[in-house]
Amino acid sequence: MQSRKIDSYIGFAVRSGEVVYGLDAFFGAAGKIKLILYDACTGAATLRKLKNFSGRENIAAIRCKSGYITGAVHRENVRLIAITSESLAKAILQSDELGIITEVESE
């Protein structure tokens, strides 16, 4: 049930234009980003850049199960998304009780 709830929050963020796709786009939207979700199979170099970015900007970076993000946004090969809505970011964090979120990197 909670998985569907989180999927709904992510889907709503996508439909309302509150999602930024990919690390390069994160840099341009740095002041707007409230939450970062990244796939467990994200490459080491990208992960290093992501951790530096999230630490510098003080943004929570959440590691999700492999393949979860691609399924949630219904786009192939999407490994990183950022949520720009504060209310949706909080709702995603509060709704996870089934272990979709596997690790909080920074807050």
pTM for the model stands at 0.87
Domain 2-104 has CATH 3.40.190.10: no
3-state class (DSSP) for residue 44: helix
Domain locations in the chain? 2-104
Structure tokens at 106: 């920074």
- Cβ contacts of residue 65 below 8 Å, gap of 6+? 40, 99, 100, 102
pLDDT at 2: 60
Separation CA 80–CA 38 (nearest Å): 4
Q: What percent of the chain has pLDDT over 70?
A: 87
pLDDT at 94: 85
Q: Which of 8-22, 60-74, 87-101 reaches the highest mean pLDDT? A: 8-22
> H or E stretch including 49?
helix 44-57
Q: Is there a contact between 54 and 61 (Cβ–Cβ < 8 Å)?
A: yes
Q: Is there a contact between 26 and 33 (Cβ–Cβ < 8 Å)?
A: yes
Question: Residue 83: which region, alpha, beta or left (left: phi > 0; alpha: psi -120 to 50)?
Answer: beta
Mean pLDDT, rounded, of the chain: 88
